A = this chain, B = another copy of it.
Amino acid sequence: MKFLRVNMTERTVKEEEVQEKYSKMGGRHLTSCLVADEVPPLCHALGPNNKIVIAPGVVTGTSAPSSGRLSVGGKSPLTGGIKESNAGTPFSQRLGRLGIKAIIIEGLATEGLWMLKVDKDGAELISAENLKGKGMYETADTLFKEYPLKNSSLMGIGPSGEKRMAMAGISFNDPEGRPSRYAGRGGLGAVLGSKGLKAIVVNDAGAPGVSIQNIDLFKQGQKKLVEAIRTHDLTKPGGALNSFGTAILINVLNEVGGLPTRNFSSGQFKGASKTSGESIAEKVKERGGAGMMGHGCHPGCIIRCSNVYPAADGSEIVSCVEYESDWAFGANCEIDDLDTIAKLIYHCNDIGLDTIEAGVTVGLAMEAGVISFGDGNGAIDLLDQIRTGTSLGHILGNGAEFTGKAYGLTRIPTVKRQAMPAYEPRAVKGIGTTYITSPMGADHTAGYTITTEILSVGGQADPLDPKGKVELSKAFQTATAFIDASGYCLFIAFPILDISDGMEGMVETINGVLGTNWTVSDVGRIGMDILSIENDFNAKAGFSKEDDRPPEFMRYEPLPPHNVVFDITDEELDKIWK
């Protein structure tokens, strides 16, 4: 196991031994810890002192199910705080198999645009001038011609990252080579852009594989976890996620009045059913061709919630139309045409944008009157302005809060300057608490209380009731931080919360790899350690409890149809990290 340290100023790559301190860490645990140890919290996120850390999870690269997740960490140019952004991709598995625990990218290139080539024999920086300004699809085409998909995976940034825009995500390829898997949130693509690093290609031919300390324990755990995933209604083959994708939630959230609509001015969208997971599945069936449900973001995933969305003629528009992206351009912008939504997602993938931030930003531009709500072609034009870097593009490319400020708006659905995802805090108060208190800024994946509040997994809780939501969010946030360190997909939470054998199995696979003796009770402890590291970084970056607050309008603007405001008090919110 080793670290690769890439210095863009010196244009050097060094292998480093992994210090004991970091030896049991992976994924988010490792990225957050390295960022906290090496990045001055008050540095300019696009300046010479920020770093990007890329780390596969602990079990990533093994045969553990649905474990191909990767964490990317750094100081976020969007939130100004620490950021871990997470994607599922074979890139992560290849890194794991090469024994690379983390890649640390530091400094700023004084000239040129560069890419990093990594394989079993080492790593080097080579010119990427030929990729300058290129979209991610062309970038992927070009690179996979030279570095075939069979052994290679790709990470890259689009034009938005090169332009150092705070909405720029980091793209990774899916099993078929599409640059469609994103560590999207928090603008880390802009940090890579500031450093002059366009892409990384990892080739794992001849890699040693992940070293497993206790193979029997690992296999035992793996079996239990596979069994749980294959049993649970949400995750089993032919289950909800596999059949309809994550957009199965569109109708569900709409029914409970928690689907943010028209820039968070309502909780219900007339066009919801037209943009639902059921409609996606129907189109895929109807149109055939390239379309498919049950697509996986990395080999070894047995949940397979991704999809490939086809045009009327059967050609591929994009992979994938998942819930958050679908909602961001759908209900949030009042666009009820799936084909248009799919095209918007394609453009985000190509330009290098976080679809959540992009959709909320477009919604704010609509509220400002730049274009009208529901104007799908107008929305595509806005994304194109980000691509080409017009003045308007430089507003939009810097995200939702920036765009709202540019036009003096007050209904800006952000926390810590990051756009809220697809669940209305006023109607679903546990997830609202997660948005507000997560060190990441508004982020559903940081503590996905929807599990309990909406899906009745791991218990039940009334989404409208403020009581107990701080505790619920805290429990989810701590467990999530652990899962984000493991390399497992967050969706294993559904089976392991309902099936105790699954939970045990997860911990056993990790103990198997690391040679540790953690129990289920260590999950919360380690998760809390990770969150403490992150909250501590943020405090040193200038965050205070006043940053753990909802946007003011959610306190005084009642949300239809329930006509509710966000009514968890500041005092309650402040209890979460005490």
Residues of chain A touching chain B, judged by Cβ–Cβ distance below 8 Å, are: 41-44, 46-49, 77, 163-166, 190, 193-194, 390-392, 394-395, 398, 402, 405-410, 412, 539-544, 546-547, 549, 551-553, 556
The CA-CA distance from A193 to B408 in the complex, in Å, is 10
Cross-chain contact A541 with B552 (CB below 8 angstroms): no
- Residues in B with CB closer than 8 Å to A409 are 46
Cross-chain contact A42 with B552 (CB below 8 angstroms): yes
Cross-chain contact B552 with A49 (CB below 8 angstroms): yes
How distant is A9 from chain B, measured CB to nearest CB, in Å? 12
Cross-chain contact A547 with B542 (CB below 8 angstroms): yes
A552: nearest chain-B partner, CB-CB: B44
The CA-CA distance from A543 to B539 in the complex, in Å, is 11
**What are some 6 contacts across the A-B interface (CB < 8 A)?**
A46-B409, A49-B552, A164-B407, A391-B392, A542-B543, A542-B547
Question: With A44-B552, A46-B408, A402-B405 given, can you name 4 additional A-B contacts, CB distance below 8 Å?
Answer: A194-B408, A395-B406, A402-B402, A542-B544
> With contacts A47-B553, A391-B391, A395-B395 known, is A546 near B42, CB below 8 A?
yes
Cross-chain contact B406 with A42 (CB below 8 angstroms): no
A49: nearest chain-B partner, CB-CB: B552
Cross-chain contact A166 with B48 (CB below 8 angstroms): no
Cross-chain contact B398 with A42 (CB below 8 angstroms): no
> With contacts A391-B391, A546-B42 known, is A408 near B164, CB below 8 A?
yes
- Residues in B with CB closer than 8 Å to A47 are 410, 552-553
How distant is A194 from chain B, measured CB to nearest CB, in Å? 7
A403: nearest chain-B partner, CB-CB: B394
A406: nearest chain-B partner, CB-CB: B394
The CA-CA distance from A62 to B193 in the complex, in Å, is 60
The 5 residue pairs across chains A and B that have the minimum distance between CB atoms: A164-B408, A542-B546, A391-B392, A391-B391, A394-B406
- Residues in B with CB closer than 8 Å to A543 are 542, 544
8 Å CB contact of A44 from B42, B43, B402, B553: B553
- Residues in B with CB closer than 8 Å to A46 are 408-410
The CA-CA distance from A507 to B44 in the complex, in Å, is 45
Interface centre among A194, A394, A547 (most CB of B within 10 A): A394
